[in-house]
Amino acid sequence: MATQLFDKETTIELRKKHIGPSCKVFFTKDPIKIIRGQGQFLYDEKGERYLDCINNVAHVGHCHPHVVQAAIKQMELLNTNSRFLHDNLVQYAQRLTATLPEKLSICYFVNSGSEANDLALRLARHHTGHQDIITLDNAYHGHVTSLIDVSPYKFHQLGVGAKKDFIHVASAPDVYRGKFREDHPDPASAYADEVKEIIEQTQRKGRQIAAFIAESLQSCGGQVLPPPGYFQKVAQHVRGAGGVFIADEVQVGFGRVGKHFWAFQLQGEDFMPDIITMGKPIGNGHPMSCVVTTKDIAESFLNSGMEYFNTFGGNPVSCAIGLAVLDVIENQALQKHAAQVGDYLMALLNELKEKHPLIGDIRGTGLFVGVDMVKDRLKRTPATAEAQFVIYRLKEEHILLSADGPHRNVLKFKPPMCFSREDAKFVVDKIDTILSVIEKAADPDRETHQETPEIGGCKRKDPSLPNEDDEENVRGGGRRHVGPGEEATHRHKAAKKRLRT
C-alpha cells in the first residue's frame, strides 16, 4: 500500500505556495488526493477506491503492467534523442502508420498534443504558403500561443477582439444544439457550406486559407459528433482553396470510438485528412505525441530549409511505451471492447432518458459518450447546475465523471478502455438515483426535508460544487464568452449561489 509523504492539508498548502494558481484541481473546495491507480480505478490516501470515467489518457488502464514493463526495460538500456538511429523509433512509426490510410505515412514525434497541433499548423502553413486557419466554435486544440489562437473556447475568455484576423470560426457541426439540427435534410452539407462561405469571404479580403482544423469528434464542444460526410465536403472546399485538413485526434484516437481505430474514420472510407495529430492516450500517460502527414506535406516542410528537432520527441523510451500501448490495444481487443461496452452504456443511458426528462440527448460512439442535460426538452435549455450537481454527487459516491460543453451541461464519459459493463451499470444506476432526487425536489408537490439538494429550486447543505473537472471544463469555469456561454455562466453562477445558501 502506498503511503503519503505529507498529510492532505500540507499537500494543499504547499500547492497553494508553489503551484501556479491558474492550475486548478478537481473539486476545488474538497480536492482528491490520489496515490495509486490500477485499471479503471484510482485510490486516495485512505485507500478508498474511485471509479474513473474521465481519464482518457490512462487509455489501456492506469499503470498497465505491460506498458510499465516496456518502459522499465528501455529506461534501463537507453533514453536519448532521435539524432541517433534507433529501432524503437522506426518500428513504432511503422506500426502507427499501419493503422492509417497508406498516404499518411510520415511521422513527427513530439511531446504533447499541444506540440503536435502547433507543428500541424506549421506544416500546413509551409505547405500551402497561406496563413489563415478555419476552426470550429467551442474548439480547444492546446495551450501554446498559436493554439489559443485557434481555440475559441480559450480566446473567447479574453473578451471581444481576442480573435486574430487570420482565424475564422465556423459553427460547430452540432446536430442537437447547433444551427442545423437532426431535422435538417442534410446537415453535413449545410455546415460544410458555411465553411465554403467563410473561404470565399476570406478570399475576397485577399487572404488565403492554410488549414481547416477540427477534432474528429468535438470533445470540449460537448461530445459533438459531426454528421457523416461533413469532413469530406469541408475537405473539398478547403483543398479547393489550396488549404489542408487537420484532424485532431488528441482526445479521441486509438480505438476509443469502437467502430474504428481513428475517429475521423467515422466519416466514411472516402475521407482522409492531410494531417492527423495525436496525444493523450498514445503513451498511457507518458508525455509523448505524434503528427502524421503525407509525403508531399513533409517535402514542403523540408523545402522550407528549416530543420526540425525535438529534444525528447521520439526517444527510445517514449517509443517503447507507444509500442506497448498498441500491443495492449491489440492483445486485449480493447477497440472491440470499447464498442461493446459503449453500446451497452448507450443503451442504459437511453433507458434513463425514457425515465428522466432532465436528459435531452444521448450521443456517442464507443467509450466516448455524452449525456446532454436539459431543463426543457423542447427548448433544449441546458441544465447546467443540475449537471454540475450530478458530478458532485457522483464524486461522493466515488465515481469521477465530468460535465462539459459550452454550457457545461453534458455529462462526459471517456474512461480508460478497460471500463467494464459492470462499471457502466454501476454509474448509470447512480445517475438514475441522483436524477430522481433532483426531479423529485424540483416537483412542486415534493416533500421537502433537510437533505434535499437545492438544484433547480431545491436545497442542499455545504454543496462545494466542483468548478472544474478536466481540461475543457476548466475553460468553461472562467469564460467571458458573449452568447450562449454567457448565459450558461450566469445560470451556473446563479445555481452555485443558490447551492451555497
* C-alpha cell recorded at residue 277: 495529430
Q: Does residue 220 interact with its own copies by CB under 8 A?
A: no
Considering the complex, state which of residue 320 and residue 338 has its C-beta at the smaller distance from its own copies.
Answer: 320
| Residue 13: Cβ within 10 Å count | 12
C-alpha–C-alpha distance, residues 424 and 426, integer Å = 5
Q: Does residue 122 interact with its own copies by CB under 8 A?
A: yes
CB of 59 closer than 8 Å to CB of 281: yes
Report 21-60 residues binding its own copies (CB under 8 A): 21-26, 31-37, 42, 55, 57-58
Q: CB within 8 A of 81, min separation 6: which ones?
A: 309, 311, 312, 315
User: Which residue is associated with the grid cell 514525434?
Assistant: 109
Nearest distance, CB of residue 73 and its own copies, angstroms: 10
Which residue in the set 51, 53, 60, 89 belongs to the binding site for its own copies (CB under 8 A)? 89
Considering the complex, state which of residue 17 and residue 379 has its C-beta at the smaller distance from its own copies.
Answer: 17
C-alpha–C-alpha distance, residues 409 and 382, integer Å = 6
Nearest distance, CB of residue 342 and its own copies, angstroms: 22
Report 363-382 residues binding its own copies (CB under 8 A): none
Burial class, 344, CB count within 10 angstroms (exposed 0-12 / middle 13-18 / buried 19+): middle
Q: Does residue 113 interact with its own copies by CB under 8 A?
A: yes
Q: Which residues pair with 231 in a beta bridge?
A: none
Nearest distance, CB of residue 168 and its own copies, angstroms: 18
Report 297-336 residues binding its own copies (CB under 8 A): 298-299, 301-302, 304-315, 317-318
C-alpha–C-alpha distance, residues 88 and 109, integer Å = 12
Which residue in the set 84, 200, 333, 440 belongs to the binding site for its own copies (CB under 8 A)? 84
Considering the complex, state which of residue 197 and residue 299 has its C-beta at the smaller distance from its own copies.
Answer: 299
Q: Does residue 112 interact with its own copies by CB under 8 A?
A: yes
Q: Which residues pair with 412 in a beta bridge?
A: 370, 402
What is Dmax (Cα atoms) for the chain?
73
Nearest distance, CB of residue 15 and its own copies, angstroms: 5
Considering the complex, state which of residue 150 and residue 383 has its C-beta at the smaller distance from its own copies.
Answer: 150
Nearest distance, CB of residue 334 and its own copies, angstroms: 18
For its own copies (CB under 8 A), the number of binding residues is 111
Q: Does residue 412 interact with its own copies by CB under 8 A?
A: no
What is 289-312 written as a DSSP string? EEEEE-HHHHHHHHHTT-----SS
Q: Does residue 86 interact with its own copies by CB under 8 A?
A: yes
CB of 394 closer than 8 Å to CB of 401: yes
Considering the complex, state which of residue 15 and residue 179 has its C-beta at the smaller distance from its own copies.
Answer: 15
Nearest distance, CB of residue 49 and its own copies, angstroms: 13
| Residue 128: Cβ within 10 Å count | 22
Considering the complex, state which of residue 129 and residue 228 has its C-beta at the smaller distance from its own copies.
Answer: 129
Q: Does residue 6 interact with its own copies by CB under 8 A?
A: yes
Choices 228-236, 339-347, 455-463, 472-480 (CB under 8 A): range interacting with its own copies: 472-480
* C-alpha cell recorded at residue 226: 459531426
Q: Does residue 258 interact with its own copies by CB under 8 A?
A: no
C-alpha–C-alpha distance, residues 434 and 297, integer Å = 51
Sign of CA dihedral 200, 205, 207, 211: negative
Which residue in the set 477, 484, 496, 498 belongs to the binding site for its own copies (CB under 8 A)? 477
Q: Does residue 105 interact with its own copies by CB under 8 A?
A: yes
Nearest distance, CB of residue 425 and its own copies, angstroms: 25
Burial class, 366, CB count within 10 angstroms (exposed 0-12 / middle 13-18 / buried 19+): buried
CB of 209 closer than 8 Å to CB of 251: no
- Phi/psi for 152 (5° steps) reads -55, -35
Report 266-295 residues binding its own copies (CB under 8 A): 279-280, 284-288, 293
Q: Indicate the helix (H) or strand (E) that contains 434.
A: helix 421-442
Considering the complex, state which of residue 210 and residue 455 has its C-beta at the smaller distance from its own copies.
Answer: 210
Choices 74-82, 163-171, 239-247, 266-274 (CB under 8 A): range interacting with its own copies: 74-82
Report 128-157 residues binding its own copies (CB under 8 A): 143-146, 148, 154, 157
Q: Does residue 449 interact with its own copies by CB under 8 A?
A: no
C-alpha–C-alpha distance, residues 32 and 167, integer Å = 38
User: Which residue is associated with the grid cell 487537420?
Assistant: 246
Report DSSP state, residue 283.
Answer: G
Q: CB within 8 A of 493, min separation 6: which ones?
A: none
Which residue in the set 40, 111, 216, 223 belongs to the binding site for its own copies (CB under 8 A)? 111
Nearest distance, CB of residue 457 and its own copies, angstroms: 30
CB of 80 closer than 8 Å to CB of 276: no
Which residue in the set 29, 68, 355, 500 belongs to the binding site for its own copies (CB under 8 A)? 68
Q: Collapse the DSSP code of 73 into the 3-class scheme (helix H, G, I; strand E, B; otherwise coil) and give the result.
A: helix
Considering the complex, state which of residue 123 and residue 387 has its C-beta at the smaller distance from its own copies.
Answer: 123
Cα separations in angstroms, 57 against 34, 215, 325, 355, 471: 16, 16, 11, 33, 12
Q: Does residue 482 interact with its own copies by CB under 8 A?
A: no
Choices 113-121, 212-220, 361-369, 407-415 (CB under 8 A): range interacting with its own copies: 113-121
